[in-house]
Structure 1
Amino acid sequence: MKYSIVKNDYPESLDLANQLTEQLTSDQAWVVDDENPDYVFVIGGDGTFLKAVKQFNHLLAQIKFYPIKKGGIGFYTNRNLFDPKELKTNLNLNECQINKYPLLEVKIDEKTFFVINELKVLNDVVPQQFSIFVNDEKLENFKGTGVVFATPSGSTGYLKSINGAIIYPTSQELFEMQEVAPVSTVLFHTINAPIIFSHEETIRLTQINSLKVNDALTVVGDARIIATTFATIEVKISAIKLKIITTNKINRAALLKDIFVGN
C-alpha cells in the first residue's frame, strides 16, 4: 500500500508524523509514495486537509484520506483521534469506517477542478454580469458581486457567513448556490435566496459582458484561486466521492454544536 503524509507546521504535528512514519516503515506492506499514493494521512486542521485535497486533486478517485486532528477547528478532523498502535486496525478495510463526501466538479472553460468545500465567483471592484442556467434552462441574469456554490460539508463555512443554509446530511448528493450582494432595484432584481440542487442539475454561468484586465474577478475553489477570468463555468456534483477514513462515527449534530453553539 502506497502512502503520503501532509502536515501543518506545528512541532507536535512533526512529532506525530515521525511516529506515524516509524509505524508504517515497520510494516513492509507500506511504501511511501508522494506522487501516486493510495492513502494520504493529513495531520492538522481543515486548512491542512484542504491543502492535501489540492495537492492530490487529480487522484481523488483512488485516494483514501486519513485526517488526524492537530490544528484548529476541523469539520473533517475533529472526531479523528490517533493511536499508532491502532493504525493497522483502523486501516483494515473490513473494519474501518469510510465516509464518502460529495465533490463539486467544476469546469472553467476547458479546465476541470474538484472542490470539497466551496466555489466562489467574486468581483469586489465592479459588479459582474452573467446568465445562470439550470440544465440549459435560463434561471436569471445576475448582476452583483458574485455567487457561491457549496457541498453539504462546505455549507457550514463561507456560505453560512453570507446567510446560506446549512445542508445537514453530508452524505447526500446535494449542493447549494447563494448570490453575493446582487444589485436590487426596481429595474433589476434576482432570486437572491439560497437554492439547493441535486445530482440531476448542472449549473452554468455564462458571461454577459467581457471583463477588463484590471477587474478583480477571482474564482476560488477551496481557498485557492483557480481562475481570474472565464467565459463559461459549469458546476455539478461529481461522480467521484472523497473518501475519508474515520476512527469514530461522525455525529453531524455534535460537530455543529461544538463549533457554533458550545455548551
Structure 2
Amino acid sequence: MKYNVIHRGDDISIQLMHRFHELIRQYGLIHEEASPDIVLSIGGDGTLLHAFHQYKDQLDHIAFTGIHTGRLGFYADWKPDEVELLAQLMGESANQNDLRAVKYPLVEIQITTAQGIETELALNEFTLKGVDATLVAQLHINDELLETFRGDGICISTPSGSTAYNKSLGGAIVHPSLDAIQIAEIASINNRVFRTLGSPILLPKHHHCDIYPRANQNILLSLDHLYMQRNDIISIRSLVAAGKKVKFARFRPFPFWSRVREAFIGYDMV
C-alpha cells in the first residue's frame, strides 16, 4: 500500500511528518506522492482541503485521514500524541488488506460562460459574492424560478461542509451519510422588489440549483479555499456530484455527532 503526507508547514506538523515516516516504514508501506492509496493530512481542515484538491482526480482509489495540529480540525480524527497509534493501525490495516472507510458526498459546480462549461468539485462549500456591489441573481430549483436574490452572496455546502461557513450563516448541520446539498443566503436584502425565502434549503441528490447572475457582474467565487474573480458567468449549476465521493479512512470509531460535540461544544458537561 502506498501513502503520502500533506502538512501545513509549521514546525510541529513537519516534525510529526518525519516521525510518521519513521514509524510507518516498519510496516512496509511505500511513500508515493503521485498516486497514493492513503493521504495523511497534518495540520488543520485547510490542510485537508489542500490535499483533497490536489488529489480530486483520484478519488476512486484514495482515502484521507488527518492529524489535527491546529485549533479546530473537524476532518482530523487524530491528535499529535497519537501518531504512534495511527501508524500502528494504518500499518496493520494495510498488511491485512482491511482498509475501512466512510464516504461523504461532494458538491459539483458547473459554470457556464460563452466559452462553454467548466466543472468543479468542492468538499466543504461553494460560494459566490458580489465584488463591487451586492450580488443580484435569479435562483432556479429544477429549472423552475424560485426567487430573485439580492444580497452579499449565496453559499452551497455539502453535508460535511455544513459545519463550516454554512453553520455561521444559520444553516443546519447535516449528517454526511445524506446525499444532499444545502443553499444558505449571505445577508439577503428583502423589499418589495427582491424577495427570498430567508432560510436555508436542502436539496436531495436528484435535484439541482441554477443561479443566473445579472450580466457582467464582478463576482468572487470560492471553492473551499480556492478563490477566483469572474465577470463572464452566464449561469452556475450546483448538485450532488454523481458517482464521486470523498473517502476517509477510519482506523477506529469516531461517530459524526461525537465529532460535532468535540468541535463545537467540548466535553465539559454541567
Q: Deviations over 1:179-216 (max 9, x none)?
A: 112221123211121001110111111223322xxx4x
Structure 1 residues 53-68: aligned runs within 5 Å: 53-68=52-67
Match of 1:134 in 2: 141
Paired residues of 2:65 and 2:77 also in contact (CA < 8 A): no
Alignment correspondent of 1:11: 11
Q: Does 1:39 align with 2:41?
A: no
**AA paired with 1:129?**
V
Structure 2 partner of 1:240? 244
Name the CA shift for 1:93/1:71 in 2 (closer, same or farther; >3 Å): farther
Is residue 7–residue 43 contact of structure 2 (8 Å, CA) maintained in 1?
A: yes
Separation (CA, whole Å) in 1 of partners of 2:162 and 2:173: 5
Residue 157 of structure 2: aligned partner: 150
- The alignment's TM-score, normalised by the length of structure 1, stands at 0.88
Preserved CA contact (<8 Å) 1:79 1:250: no
1:96-107 correspondence to structure 2 within 5 Å: 96-107=99-110
Equivalenced residues, count: 257
For structure 2, the residue ranges without an aligned partner over 5 or more in a row are: none
Partner of 1:220: 222
Q: CA deviation at 1:163?
A: 1.2
**What is the DSSP-based 3-state SS (H/G/I as helix, E as strand, rest coil) of the residue aligned with 1:188?**
coil
TM superposition score normalised by structure 2: 0.86
Does the C-alpha gap of structure 1 residues 156 and 93 become closer, same or farther in structure 2, counting only changes over 3 Å? Answer: farther
Q: CA deviation at 1:234?
A: 1.1
Q: Does 1:192 align with 2:164?
A: no
* Residues 16-95 of structure 1 mapped to structure 2, 5 A cutoff: 16-26=16-26, 30-79=29-78, 81-83=82-84, 84-91=87-94, 95=98
Identity of aligned residues (%): 27
Counterparts of 2:125 and 2:222, CA distance in 1: 8
Q: Aligned in 2, Cα 1:195/1:241: closer, same or farther, shift over 3 Å?
A: same
What SS class does the counterpart of residue 82 from structure 1 fall into? helix
SS at match of 1:61: coil
Q: CA RMSD in A?
A: 2.1
Aligned residue for 2:83, secondary structure, equals coil
CA contact (8 A) 2:210 2:237 kept: yes
Q: Is 1:231–2:231 an aligned residue pair?
A: no
- Rounded to whole Å, the distance in 2 between the matches of 1:247 and 1:16 is 18
**AA at the equivalent of 1:231:** I
Is the 2:125–2:155 Cα contact (8 Å) retained in structure 1? yes
Aligned-residue offset at 1:93:
6.8
